[in-house]
Amino acid sequence: MEKLGPGSDADTLHVLAMIPRDSFPLVVDAGSGIGRQTLALAGRLQTAVHAIDTAAKHLDSLNRYSAQFGIAHLVHTHCMDMADIPANFRDVDLLWSECAAYHIGFPNALATWLLAIRPGGYAVVSELSWLRDEVPEHVRAYFRSGYPDMRTVDENLSIARTAGYEVIATHLLSKSAWVDGYYDKLEPLAHSLLQHPEKAVRAFAAQTLEGIRIFDSAEDNYGYVFYVLRKPEGGTAKGT
């Protein structure tokens, strides 16, 4: 896999360009995985990006890729929990996280990372979000077990404001970013594992295929939304 979640360099760089600033001395990528977006950010910004992940094997892959692309000097990997970012990084100018914040809970992630961000600094966090109020029952039913914490865009914006951020913009991840290099790779892989001797592997393969089937039939009821947020100068939007 060239990426561990839905995403594309085109979307990453489009969102980066939505931020009304172009220089970020300290960039942290939370839940980087194998670092598709880490490499895109470091390449575009030509500045150091600190990639955080708890999976050492993902960071090993990222280190290999950054060397292949000739930007190893810009990519620094840290095998650690993204919940511990404030204990290890101060005055972050740009906190980036794609398809990963849900691991520690979107509201918790935003509140935790605010502590590490410099006043006037930015957070860009992508989160699976409901896009409509009326959602077909088969889609609701899948996510009742798949991701029961999924919220609407308005609910997530309210969470961001309550945490103390200003909302700068949102961006809906393109549909092709779900398919190209992700679902189109996962689908044949999952099919090949349906007869695997281990029950857990068979179940995971079936669940993956069901997720792809739901995506194909769900139209625009849900999507990955980038929330582009800013920590206000002199504190938070709550005035604390």
Ligand X SMILES: C[S@@+](CC[C@H](N)C(=O)[O-])C[C@H]1O[C@@H](n2cnc3c(N)ncnc32)[C@H](O)[C@@H]1O
The contact set with ligand X (CB under 6 A) reads 3-5, 7, 31-33, 36-37, 52-55, 58, 81-83, 98-100, 103-104
Whole-number Å distance between alpha carbons of 1 and 8: 13
Q: How far is the CB of 56 from ligand X (least distance, A)?
A: 9
Question: Which one, of 221, 215, 218, lies nearest residue 133 by Cα?
Answer: 221
Whole-number Å distance between alpha carbons of 44 and 65: 16
| Choice between 173 and 237, CB closer to ligand X | 173
180 three-class SS: helix
Between the alpha carbon of residue 59 and those of residues 51, 76, 79, 163, 201, the distances in Å are: 8, 9, 7, 30, 24
Q: How far is the CB of 59 from ligand X (least distance, A)?
A: 9
User: Tokens 């290890």 belong to which residue?
Assistant: 88
Q: How far is the CB of 168 from ligand X (least distance, A)?
A: 20
Q: How far is the CB of 137 from ligand X (least distance, A)?
A: 27
Q: How far is the CB of 172 from ligand X (least distance, A)?
A: 16
- Report which residue's Cβ sits closest to ligand X: 33
Q: How far is the CB of 127 from ligand X (least distance, A)?
A: 12
Contact 205, 194 (CB under 8 A): yes
| Choice between 100 and 225, CB closer to ligand X | 100
Tokens of 111: 């509140």
| Choice between 28 and 229, CB closer to ligand X | 28
| Choice between 37 and 66, CB closer to ligand X | 37
| Choice between 99 and 163, CB closer to ligand X | 99
| Choice between 174 and 236, CB closer to ligand X | 174
Burial environment of residue 46 by CB neighbours within 10 A (0 to 12, 13 to 18, 19 or more)? exposed
Contact 105, 30 (CB under 8 A): no
